[in-house]
Structure 1
Amino acid sequence: MIASSYPKFLMCITPKPETFSRAECKRNPVQFFAIVSMQRSGSGWFETLLNSHVNVSSNGEIFSVKDRRNNISSIIQTLDKVYNLDWFSSASKNQCSAAVGFKWMLNQGLMEHHKEIAEYFNRKGVSAIFLFRRNLLRRMVSLLANSYDQYAKLLNGTHKSHVHTPEEADILSKYKPSINSTALITQLKDMEVITAKALEYFNSTRHIILYYEDLIVNRTKLKDVQEFLKLPQMVLSSRQIKIHKGPLSDHIKNWEDVNKTLAATAYESFLHADY
């Protein structure tokens, strides 16, 4: 028997459930979260890291299904199912769940209904984990390449947004998208505006702001996330492999045009950063 003086989160490290019901874990409060991000910003990789924690269940991009975000009523109904612990997926754990959530992209009804959703988050005690990319040019390359592969299906006729072997990453990275250099700066500014609006809309919600590049170079950021979710600290891991490695000049077909467009602008640093 664990002494009552133990911190509550330690009670969940080695649970011994008999029926795997929530009642057996009722002494441990569940933290609710939503990973708020944009496509091709590292959220898939980040979620696999979280799900490698024995006490975390993050249920994927549930609002990619349009029927679940048709209106605010369908959104609230879906949220209730997740946070009432009635959502079952491959991320569901037999162990005591200390944190439960999912991924939510900004273009999946979140911005259109931000007021009602922020009110729901605050009422239900849902914390937001904002995950963005600093290098928006790299995000654009990833978006275009992923969009191309949805039709080209370069991996033996199968489309994969994420890969687990260097060989698969090498095949996908061979495609070099062309970027509309005329519209490039406007598109980068639009991405920044969307990010700023999201942070403004959910400023009153308990949240943490993360950047993909920071997670890559500083794994102590993952400790910050676990602390934010009030989890027992664990080493987190993922099998996902980065697709576009090395300089961007290797991954953009019209590199000279892009380089000329962004040189001597606020976005020049995007040309040189590895992540």
Structure 2
Amino acid sequence: MLVLMFVMVCGVYICSVCLKQIGGHPTVRLLSYPMAERACDVADIEPSEKPYVHFPKPESFNREECACNPVRYFAILSTQRSGSGWFETLLNSHMNISSNGEIFSVKVRRSNISTIVETLDKIYNLDWFTSASKNECTAAVGLKWMLNQGLMQHHEEIVEYFNAKGVSAIFLFRRNLLRRMISILANSFDQNAKLLNGTHKSHVHSTHDAKILASYKPVVNASLLIPNLRQVEDLVNKSMEYFKSTRHIILYYEDIINNRTKLVDVQNFLRVPLRDLSSRQVKIHKGSLSSQVENWGDIEKALEGTHYQSYLHEDYKL
């Protein structure tokens, strides 16, 4: 009996081993070696330009064949109602430029310098997706940044970031600050009145909508006119002083309207191929300033004899 039991146990063991050998598949461990990343050639780039040339490696997608296409970083620094929205649509009509809008209009993103830097890093790494994103073959990427959206409060850290990361600044302002003020008053009124079928629009794409918004003529507080103009003037001058150490270009809305070669200057500044830039936006306030406000006489008296008197005259024609 003992011999029989021993033989049975051995038989079961031998059968189990045979079944494993017949039915099992040997596991082959493949050794993986990290692929050496191809270094992008920068031999054709001028030494002075190299700090402003980047090869982002986004986490959200692969740039594929465009991985070695250089990308330049920029930021449009401006004030509200200075033509920055129109200017940005012009840039975005270029197939290689992505300007991602007024990112820091959301207060959380500008709550402190850490959130600002985190947001900028994501934008310049091509991981920020908007309708303007060109993804793989972007040659210039940036955003629109208003002076009152954390830019002036944290200007020292932001200048340091711009210089360290090679971000170029595009200043865009209005020469005629009176026109800007009238545009702000009209836009503020429409935020509450919502003249376009109960909706508020800061920019329009049809002459019909533009005429409706232009029908409102604000009353300008003449007693506060000069202090308000001086305040904006000081803000603009301070911003240019703060960011003078960065690579930058200074543009004015009136100059772009009067001379479209200014758009060539911008494309050369961003080192992108020259293209004809276009925008679907329609200008809201046209014609003389006197036709756009209710109390033009009060404005003339307030500015007469000051260096702001030039704002009363026609500064461009459409």
**What letter is aligned with 2:252?**
Y
**What letter is aligned with 1:140?**
M
Q: TM-score, normalised by structure 1?
A: 0.92
- Paired with 1:88 and 1:218, the residues of 2 have a C-alpha distance of 32
Work out which of the residue numbers 19, 44, 58 in structure 1 matches 2:99.
58
**What letter is aligned with 1:73?**
S
Deviations 1:55-80 (A, max 9, x none): 01100000000000001111111111
Shift of 1:22: 2.0
> Is the Cα–Cα contact under 8 Å of residues 135 and 273 in structure 1 kept in the other structure?
no
Question: Which residue number in structure 1 is paired with residue 266 of structure 2?
Answer: 225
Shift of 1:257: 0.2
**What letter is aligned with 2:152?**
M
Residue 98 in 1 paired to residue 139 in 2? yes
Question: Which residue number in structure 2 is paired with residue 141 of structure 1?
Answer: 182
**What letter is aligned with 2:80?**
Q
Residue 70 in 1 paired to residue 111 in 2? yes
- Paired with 1:113 and 1:253, the residues of 2 have a C-alpha distance of 39
Residue 109 in 1 paired to residue 127 in 2? no
Work out which of the residue numbers 80, 83, 93 in structure 2 matches 1:42.
83
Residue 238 in 1 paired to residue 283 in 2? no
Question: Which residue number in structure 1 is paired with residue 26 of structure 2?
Answer: none
> Is the Cα–Cα contact under 8 Å of residues 63 and 135 in structure 2 kept in the other structure?
no
> Is the Cα–Cα contact under 8 Å of residues 31 and 98 in structure 1 kept in the other structure?
yes
Question: Which residue number in structure 1 is paired with residue 10 of structure 2?
Answer: none
Q: Which runs of 5+ in 2 are unaligned?
A: 1-40, 46-60
SS in 2 for 1:183: helix
Computing the radius of gyration from Cα coordinates, the structure with the larger value is 2
Call closer, same or farther: CA 1:94–1:79 in 2, change over 3 Å.
closer
Shift of 1:269: 1.3
Q: TM-score, normalised by structure 2?
A: 0.80
Question: Which residue number in structure 1 is paired with residue 196 of structure 2?
Answer: 155
| Deviating 4+ runs (over 6 angstroms) | none
**What letter is aligned with 1:48?**
T
**What letter is aligned with 1:233?**
L
Q: Which runs of 5+ in 1 are unaligned?
A: 9-19
> Is the Cα–Cα contact under 8 Å of residues 102 and 145 in structure 2 kept in the other structure?
yes
> Is the Cα–Cα contact under 8 Å of residues 29 and 98 in structure 1 kept in the other structure?
yes
Question: Which residue number in structure 2 is paired with residue 167 of structure 1?
Answer: 208
> Is the Cα–Cα contact under 8 Å of residues 67 and 136 in structure 2 kept in the other structure?
no
**What letter is aligned with 2:217?**
K
Deviates more, 1:158-167 or 1:22-31: 22-31
Work out which of the residue numbers 155, 160, 165 in structure 2 matches 1:119.
160
**What letter is aligned with 1:104?**
W
Work out which of the residue numbers 124, 128, 131 in structure 1 matches 2:172.
131
Shift of 1:273: 2.0
Q: How does 1:75-90 map to 2 (within 5 A)?
A: 75-90=116-131
SS in 2 for 1:187: helix
Question: Which residue number in structure 2 is paired with residue 16 of structure 1?
Answer: none
**What letter is aligned with 1:224?**
D
SS in 2 for 1:209: strand
Shift of 1:274: 4.3
> Is the Cα–Cα contact under 8 Å of residues 132 and 212 in structure 1 kept in the other structure?
yes
Equivalent residue pairs, number: 262
Deviations 1:225-263 (A, max 9, x none): 000000000000001011110011111111110011112
- Paired with 1:225 and 1:21, the residues of 2 have a C-alpha distance of 28
SS in 1 for 2:222: coil
Question: How big is the alpha-carbon RMSD for the aligned residues of Structure 1 and Structure 2?
Answer: 1.8
- Paired with 1:21 and 1:169, the residues of 2 have a C-alpha distance of 42
**What letter is aligned with 1:27?**
C
**What letter is aligned with 1:226?**
Q
Question: Which residue number in structure 2 is paired with residue 203 of structure 1?
Answer: 244
Work out which of the residue numbers 254, 257, 267 in structure 1 matches 2:298.
257
Question: Which residue number in structure 2 is paired with residue 12 of structure 1?
Answer: none
